[in-house]
Amino acid sequence: MTYGFHHPASFPRRRESSVVQSHRVPAFAGTTAQLTMAPRSLRTTHLRRNMQGFGIVEIMVGVVIGLLGLLIIYQALALSEGYKRSTTAGNDAQSVGMVSLFRLAEELGNGGNTISDTGAELAVCPNTGSFATTWRPIPVLINDGGDDFTSDSFEVLAGVNRRLVSALDIMVDYAPATNAVVVQSPLGFHPSNAGEAAHRFVIVDIANPALQKCEIATVSPWPAPLNAATGVTTITPVPAFVNTYDQGSAWLINLGPGDRIRKLRYDVVNGVLRSTDLLTVGAQPQPIVSNVALMKVQYGVDTDNDRFIDTWINARNAPWTQAAVLGAPLAQLKQIKAIRVALVVRSAQFERARDAEGRAAVTDVTGDHTVTLFDCRGLLPCTGEMAGVTIPGTGGFRYRTFEQVIPLTNQIWNPT
């Protein structure tokens, strides 16, 4: 047997896989190193295939799913917001009605303060044709709107007399030249408080009512008594009274500090409830609340003078029209014992006929609002009921109706 050296090329070569051939690693230690590196190359190839990510189809599917989700969420949100607006609108109308009625009831309840106490004296004052300039003892004056669906307005008068509760007989004849009114109070007089507004006085001649001698002036500061024991003091009116007044027939009425006397008008214009100070020349109406669709006001009248209300009357017909009450005799004015107010307020949000999903609204508010005011609910006798009042131009909103009876306590406590 012969032993010799054979070149490696003379040995048959083992066929390598295509994977190994394509990923051959340079050999530094012979063929063995090449064979041991092959499995690592296979693992690398599989990892690269798994790291290729999404294709265009997967991306488009995800986009479509996202858009569908946004569409569903938007529809649900829009529907929820629609219900929320309707609920909020109803709450807004509730708040407007409560605030408005509270303000009106407060003013009307004070109507006639000081005025009703001195009705017999103030009845001498002339009818000037305007509530702003007359001082007749009218606690509340209603101006009818002319029909059931137009808002009424009213005016209220209240003094704030904190010292004198009745008229005072002057002690000495008054003459414009001297401009001194000497009066005496059973309780005495007190100097004005610091910063207190000038008091307003009305002087009338009750002995000669046909002459209608009635004037108003102010005095500030309130004078101290000339005689602390008797309470006699001298008042200097500003401006001076024009007429002469005799002791025994002339009486002085103190209405209280000028900035606290209430002579106001309340009305509704373009859906806004307003108040106007009638004592200030050129005063502008002040808005209180908006979204008031209708305000109706009625007198509660005691026709048989038993101090109980017998009927409710609007100011549309005589003898309770605005002009008639301005010149009414004292006996008729004393019959006014209460005021009844109805307010119809609407929501601020316009209600669409269909919701966000195209369905018809649960409550149809497309037509003009119709309501029955001062509903007697079948009870007899029934006076003042206003059935089937349709307010034009009110479609598309939600409405609340508020009603309240306000007794005129000053009228009730001073029946004569």
Regarding whether 276 and 413 lie in a shared domain, the answer is yes
Regarding whether 325 and 239 lie in a shared domain, the answer is no
Strand 214-219's sheet: what is its strand order?
Answer: 168-169, 250-257, 199-205, 214-219
Regarding whether 233 and 146 lie in a shared domain, the answer is no
DSSP element (H, E) containing 104: helix 56-109
Regarding whether 307 and 223 lie in a shared domain, the answer is no
For residue 144, being part of any structural domain is answered with yes
Cα–Cα dist 340/297, whole Å: 6
Q: Are 117 and 163 in contact (CB under 8 A)?
A: no
Regarding whether 255 and 369 lie in a shared domain, the answer is no
pLDDT at residue 33, as a whole number: 44
CA of residue 86 relative to chain centroid, distance: 19
Cα–Cα dist 197/275, whole Å: 22
Regarding whether 249 and 179 lie in a shared domain, the answer is yes
pLDDT at residue 144, as a whole number: 96
Residue 7 has, within 13 A of its CA and on its CB side, a CA count of 2
Number of independent structural domains in the chain: 2
SS3 for 217?
strand
Cα–Cα dist 23/40, whole Å: 10
For residue 67, being part of any structural domain is answered with no
Regarding whether 319 and 299 lie in a shared domain, the answer is yes
Domain boundary among 260, 283, 301: 260
pLDDT at residue 414, as a whole number: 80
Domain boundary among 235, 260, 285: 260
Regarding whether 323 and 255 lie in a shared domain, the answer is no
Residue 314: how many other CB atoms lie within 10 Å: 20
Cα–Cα dist 245/204, whole Å: 8
Tokens linked to 181: 């009114």
Angle at 107 between CA 409 and CA 302, to 5 degrees: 35
Residue 330 has, within 13 A of its CA and on its CB side, a CA count of 19
The residue range of the domain holding 415 is 100-117+140-156+262-416
For residue 61, being part of any structural domain is answered with no
pLDDT, tens digit (0-9, with 9 covering 90-100), for 101-153:
999 999 999 999 988 888 999 999 999 999 999 999 999 999 999 999 999 99
pLDDT at residue 28, as a whole number: 45
Q: Which residues, given as ranges, of the chain have pLDDT below 50?
A: 1-11, 16-25, 27-38, 362
pLDDT, tens digit (0-9, with 9 covering 90-100), for 36-87:
444 555 555 555 555 566 678 778 888 888 888 877 777 666 666 656 666 5
pLDDT at residue 221, as a whole number: 66
Regarding whether 325 and 207 lie in a shared domain, the answer is no
Q: What is the pTM of this model?
A: 0.76
Regarding whether 308 and 266 lie in a shared domain, the answer is yes
For residue 95, being part of any structural domain is answered with no
Regarding whether 369 and 228 lie in a shared domain, the answer is no
Regarding whether 207 and 272 lie in a shared domain, the answer is no
